[in-house]
């Protein structure tokens, strides 16, 4: 699908550029290129020069000419060769040359100097990274990352629509797995069921609104539920939850959820943990509204989990933004500052884990509205029983 140019988003960026006295942004991170041009590249050989006034320039490889013509919001598309027999350097060298040429007339340029993480291109498996030469080519550049963080933290109506699509796919895939989960199934098999639905059914979703849906997951069964561990071959056991830490990328916009399924009646110790954790979760969601402190949310959730008997947990963040990355600003935490704003989209994810394995996490994506938060996924939180 070709999305109409999101003028509200682009004007916000230009207003922030005026405030920062920047004449142009030069971006190379795939999520920032997508954010400013609607073009999601294949291999990270892309860049955008986004001026405060005038037409942006998109740089990409010749092989992506058709994709750029169909999806990009700019008519100024500058093509480089993936391989040039007269210039055998790697393609990114030609991207850099083209970016320098496109930015030559701008006096005050902003670069992604303090970028911490970036989303990948459509190939995903081998993310590109910045080289020293990229930064050396713009020695007087200002850091544009704070500006882009401010712009991206609040979503436009088009961005929210795109995030809803990713959330719809994630929820539908969970319903698909809920109908098919069986005792003895390996964690990896359960993950494959979910991933197969996302990629197979999500691509072309909603009458073709999604051109490409990509799945990512961590799935743990029972005692395998931990943090920062890989999906394995533990079996699904009746009465014990199966935790799905899942991400959908729909044409560059993401959903980030944690959902839980169980076959049969949930074991009593898990049921007790679920009730306490969902109570902390619900109270946290009630506290999020425009003007509320981000640091206080982190403090409230961690104090609540400590009161359950899990002091110092979880080891992972309990809230972050979601948009053109699965994890993007804002990152509410006690050492930080800032307040929630209307239009932010957040993943809220408290969890509590047992020392020898097992535990629970709940997570969904929420739009901050004038009155509080709106849940974007239709799939329930807590532990959801599979049909018998």
Of the pLDDT bands very low, low, confident and very high (cuts 50, 70, 90), residue 2 is confident
Of the candidates 152, 174, 189, which is a domain's last residue? 152
**Per-residue pLDDT at 124:** 84
Same domain assignment for residues 143 and 163: no
Which domain CATH number covers 122? Answer: 3.40.350.10
Which residues are within 8 A (CB) of 133 and not within 5 positions of it... i.e. 6 or more apart?
A: 93, 96
The SS3 of residue 235 is strand
**Per-residue pLDDT at 84:** 92
Of the pLDDT bands very low, low, confident and very high (cuts 50, 70, 90), residue 302 is very high
The answer to whether position 298 is within a domain reads yes
Same domain assignment for residues 205 and 72: no
Same domain assignment for residues 190 and 72: no
Q: How many domains does the chain have?
A: 2
Mean per-residue pLDDT, 331-347: 96
Mean per-residue pLDDT, 153-160: 98
In whole angstroms, give the CA distance from residue 359 to residue 349: 13
Count each helix (H run) and each strand (E run) in the chain, helices first: 11, 16
Which domain CATH number covers 231? Answer: 3.90.230.10
Q: What is the pLDDT of residues 15-50, one digit of tens each?
A: 999 999 999 999 999 999 999 999 999 999 999 999
C-beta separation of 21 from 61 below 8 A: no
Other beta carbons within 10 angstroms of residue 166's beta carbon come to 30
- Distances in Å between the Cα of 63 and the Cα atoms of 45, 123, 357 are 11, 14, 48
Domain limits for position 353 = 157-385
The answer to whether position 49 is within a domain reads yes
The answer to whether position 1 is within a domain reads no
**Per-residue pLDDT at 127:** 85
The answer to whether position 46 is within a domain reads yes
Same domain assignment for residues 214 and 304: yes
Strand positions, DSSP E, 81-189: 109-111, 142-143
Same domain assignment for residues 142 and 179: no
Summary mean pLDDT of the chain: 97
Give the end-to-end CA distance of the chain in Å, rounded to a whole number: 39
**Per-residue pLDDT at 125:** 80
Same domain assignment for residues 319 and 231: yes
pTM: 0.97
The candidate with the shortest Cα–Cα distance to 326, out of 119, 109, 54, is: 119
Q: What is the pLDDT of residues 181-199, one digit of tens each?
A: 999 999 999 999 999 999 9
Q: What is the pLDDT of residues 102-121, one digit of tens each?
A: 999 999 999 999 999 999 99
Of the pLDDT bands very low, low, confident and very high (cuts 50, 70, 90), residue 303 is very high
Question: DSSP assignment of 44-101, as one string?
Answer: S--EEEEESSS--EEEEEGGGHHHHHHH-S-SEEEEE-SSBTTB-S-HHHHHHHHHHH
Q: What is the pLDDT of residues 353-365, one digit of tens each?
A: 999 999 999 999 9
Of the candidates 126, 152, 178, which is a domain's last residue? 152
In whole angstroms, give the CA distance from residue 331 to residue 334: 10
Same domain assignment for residues 161 and 141: no
Of the candidates 152, 181, 208, which is a domain's last residue? 152
Strand positions, DSSP E, 239-387: 242-250, 253-262, 319-321, 345-348, 351-353, 359-361, 364-369, 372-375, 383-385
Of the pLDDT bands very low, low, confident and very high (cuts 50, 70, 90), residue 345 is very high
**pLDDT: which is higher, 152 or 126:** 152
The answer to whether position 258 is within a domain reads yes
In whole angstroms, give the CA distance from residue 223 to residue 252: 34
How large a percentage of the chain has pLDDT more than 70?
Answer: 100
Residue 1 has pLDDT above 80, yes or no: no
Same domain assignment for residues 69 and 126: yes
Of the pLDDT bands very low, low, confident and very high (cuts 50, 70, 90), residue 388 is confident
Six-digit token pair at 115? 């970028």
Of the pLDDT bands very low, low, confident and very high (cuts 50, 70, 90), residue 126 is confident
- Distances in Å between the Cα of 14 and the Cα atoms of 51, 147, 211, 253 are 8, 10, 29, 22
């Amino acid at each position: 699908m070709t999305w109409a140019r999101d003028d509200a988003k682009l004007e916000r960026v230009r207003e922030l550029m005026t405030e920062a006295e920047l004449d142009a942004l030069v971006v190379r991170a795939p999520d920032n290129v997508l954010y400013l041009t609607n073009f999601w590249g294949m291999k990270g050989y892309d860049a955008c020069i986004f001026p405060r006034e005038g037409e942006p320039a998109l740089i990409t490889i010749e092989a992506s000419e058709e994709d750029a013509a169909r999806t990009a919001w700019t008519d100024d598309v500058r093509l480089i060769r993936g391989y040039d027999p007269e210039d055998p350097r790697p393609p990114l060298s030609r991207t850099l040359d083209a970016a320098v040429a496109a930015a030559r007339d701008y006096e005050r340029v902003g670069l992604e100097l303090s970028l911490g993480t970036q989303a990948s291109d459509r190939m995903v498996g081998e993310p590109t990274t910045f080289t020293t030469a990229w930064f050396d080519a713009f020695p007087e550049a200002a850091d544009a990352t704070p500006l882009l963080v401010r712009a991206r933290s609040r979503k436009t109506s088009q961005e929210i629509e795109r995030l809803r699509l990713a959330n719809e796919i994630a929820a539908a895939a969970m319903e698909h797995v809920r109908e098919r989960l069986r005792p003895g199934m390996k964690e990896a098999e359960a993950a494959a069921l979910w991933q197969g639905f996302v990629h197979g059914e999500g691509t072309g979703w909603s009458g073709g609104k999604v051109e490409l849906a990509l799945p990512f997951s961590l799935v743990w069964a029972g005692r395998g539920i931990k943090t920062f561990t890989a999906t394995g071959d533990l079996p699904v056991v009746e009465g014990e939850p199966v935790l799905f830490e899942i991400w959908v990328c729909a044409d560059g916009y993401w959903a980030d959820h944690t959902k839980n399924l169980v076959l049969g009646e949930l074991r009593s110790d898990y049921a007790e943990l679920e009730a306490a954790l969902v109570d902390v979760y619900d109270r946290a969601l009630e506290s999020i509204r425009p003007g509320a402190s981000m640091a206080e949310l982190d403090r409230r959730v961690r104090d609540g989990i400590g009161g359950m008997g899990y002091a110092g947990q979880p080891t992972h963040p309990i809230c972050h933004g979601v948009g053109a990355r699965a994890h993007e600003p804002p990152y509410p935490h006690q050492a930080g500052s800032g307040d929630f704003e209307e239009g932010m989209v957040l993943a809220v994810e408290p969890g509590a884990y047992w020392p020898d394995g097992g535990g629970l996490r709940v997570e969904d994506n929420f739009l901050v509205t004038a009155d509080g938060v709106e849940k974007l996924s239709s799939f329930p939180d807590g532990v959801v029983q599979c049909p018998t």
